[in-house]
Structure 1
């Protein structure tokens, strides 16, 4: 690690050239993620020593003014930074305490941290309060120092949090053996994520590596994790148990199954960038409550596209599972964009915060403001996708303290190279006055100049190649949204228009500018009720199935015979049951096999098969199965109303017994629909 940091420091900070992340990753045979992590560490070292940070933008790295210092001077400055920074120092004390075992002394901490006794005693008081907040007790014992007590899960979770917030922990504390273990854990985690078809965010990936390190460190001092018995394993737990011996080989010591479960649950809590749809525990309630949540937000914040955007539904569904896991564990993911959300989407966030009660009541958890702001970002992205964006000629001003000839040369070069609208050239003083009443897209200056609301690029009067690249980069991202209300306001400043002409003018301008605000809003996805799609020819009573597969085939055959699915859909259902057999059994005695829409579904359909003799599906608690509900859908949402109605019925034990004992399709349909709806 340190050697790679040294080489990256020399390449990026001590040479006057630009590097791409991909270029560095190939040179050092590591992932792009690792390079970004290294740059972050270097920036922390540079900041601690009072130097400017490395510019990292759009996959490119460069350092404005090459540094003529030795890398070792940065490393040597780290301890002073740690000891002088109150927050970091207390984080170090916390990790030292929690990695010491059951007991520690003040002298032990003094040797490790090299700080004064008075400073340590003062910090210990605050640290003990923080430990107490996390249900970890520190009690003084005569002649032995301090004794630590608390649940292992609480201790590990606090260690992960403390190390995550300590920017230089591994550089200071981890030895060569520890770093090698971390490299092996990184490869292991990459492979597990790939096999589970998930892609972790960079923050989640780094947090998982810390979870591996904490598990290794706690096991090394004899602190194994102990959990209760498990009836059903999640897909993450299965993956870790199957590779139990590999984890032991990485750690070089015995690892309990409960420790595997702990790491698996940390992975389940992690946020993902993308995930292929796979069944998991609570897949049915997650699907149903996500739909209800979207509907609740759409009612609070009138934006019809929320109900029709499939990307929103899938994104929320993927995010909900790790968010739920974090809430269960009493953890939460800090959202670095919280302030941005509150400033730019205050009303939307307020609507989401009110509507999130739908999730909380159904899932029996609580989501804090950070988790709520993550949900808000999904809805905000729908608004972004549905608002008109076009490129227009950027408005630019030039700030130059030299004479007219210099500013004219710069102006002519800019106009020759870029498609820009130059609003004027100004001295620093006049620019400040002009900017109080105007807002350009970009300020190009030959002298140091700052303006609070607008990006400023400092350039040479003759525009170097580097300057040209920088300007091009900025201009390529300048967009403007056109809103009809703003257009009409501008017109209204200069022209008085008769009321009866306003609507035709607005409509004609909308057509000319390609703005669809005046068009009819897109209606929500139609979701038929259960009584609209369930008929007697989709029900089979007292079917004799010799196996799980026969029961699944029959539920699929009813859908195919009705023209709701292709033959291929039955095979896809069987494959899904093979992979996710445990999760197919949604409650005691009830299974719901299905496949993805693109695997042969032609329309929305539900079939019901009751079995003459119950069949084992492989669920440790909910077997044997007496009722098989076949499901097919052409998207992720249109079937949810009917499915919600059926789920409510199947939660009624009395009705389930009536359905199981019924002898005909007609009898079952009457039980489900009720006499008043027949």
Structure 2
């Protein structure tokens, strides 16, 4: 891969030779790295593009055509292989206009994308309609070409969104890079170098997976900043100038004196930096987010009827994630989450509960939290729930989990790997930078989302794996590490062994047999997700009671638990524990309008998973407090932190819908309740 610093080759004269030391000074790489990069460039150009450069390990001479091959070198693709879809074209048209690098016409866009005039006109028409809904006008004048008209803050918000759209594909990233070349071949490299310099000097920690798209946005923003400046609100200035990041943003902005108003831009870049920087306890002005992190954990415990054992550890992890999320959500910086569909599919019930647990935070920001953000909080909670499983096992191997995508993704990776490999001890979750400081004797294998150079066994996986990917990983690890010589056969090997001895029925092909066998094996490997019962599976007719008697709240809990006790799902100790929990911790079981969810720990007397419901004609007050009037008790007996989540997620959806909630509160018969639950 070509190092971004090699962009500085473009600032060389193409009619003279440079010795190695001159190149080291200009490129800012050490001799070994630089020689390796030049060898790579020479080989790629010669092999793929039939262009020779004069490089003998000591001196370099570049032909004048060299800049024409810079993008193909970076992406290892030819421009004729790049095809932009409609969304990518419109995003890039916006950003080219946003940057104000040059005057733009329809012809410019045709040349840039290599498409017809009619295609560009159709793109502009759709883009104009979309921007109009966001209070931005896409205007053309003979004097100035295309330009954007509207509030600068909104124009920048949309620009950030457009970078996110383009960044998700190779064609989009090619277009983003190509758009900056008319300004400078080294602008992107300057932005990246100065950003990392400011971060390192001020001892800040970035989330690596967010950096590249932010570098693109900052590059386009710096181009626009030569013509337009933007002043943040006074309250935002006060906040960002109290943060440690402000010194970094101010130092960064100083490196670009062409900005129209560096003072204002330092504030804005400070906000932008915070979207990709891990939260820090030393920023005392962000302590309110620590409080919200605590609220979110308690809300998740309340909604999911679980208890996080390592509360402080989870609190800090959540805070580290919450800080950049707050700045993204509050100031409308778009976050891409390519895993969101996978998260919603594999962790659907947890996603639902997390969304509700985030409501106090959403009310504070006064902004609807995007699903992409909820997804990352979901896997953070999911990872912590998974890590709490009690695995009584003999530890034989140690592994590192390397995931540059951030804390939440690392946690879910670690959790899933623990589930797959109970004989491996996953003690350390680390970043690439931390990996270098860990002795190789401290681990046996590495699991990571990106390739890593290491002498130890190394498995590259996705942050969230499909069942097929899990199957393949289990086979690889079992073959390499766990039980050498004793490996579960693959579907192909099973078929190859069977086919010589069997005769297939008419219409049955090898392919059909393969799919059937594969489905059977996948079913065995599926997680407990499919084993989790639905709400209607637990709250059956014999688990529902209606009472018109007057009673105390303690008596209501005892009565609500009676079906569970009668069916031998809980002991008397569990009922006492549920009552004691309310006395000790307050009315935390009040989960919605007139609804209570009494529960205790599994070890307090749960024999098997169950739920029961009691509906009262005469409501009771928890702890005699009128603010906690309850008419429906739903008693939960959970065997662990996970098996009941699907049922609770369904319950939460019902309680979140005003119409459904009113139907439940007004139900007169068991059948009405059952129909609603189903």
TM-score range (shorter-chain normalised) is 0.3 to 0.5
TM-score normalised according to structure 1 size: 0.48
Return the index of the structure with the highest Cα Rg.
1
TM-score normalised according to structure 2 size: 0.48
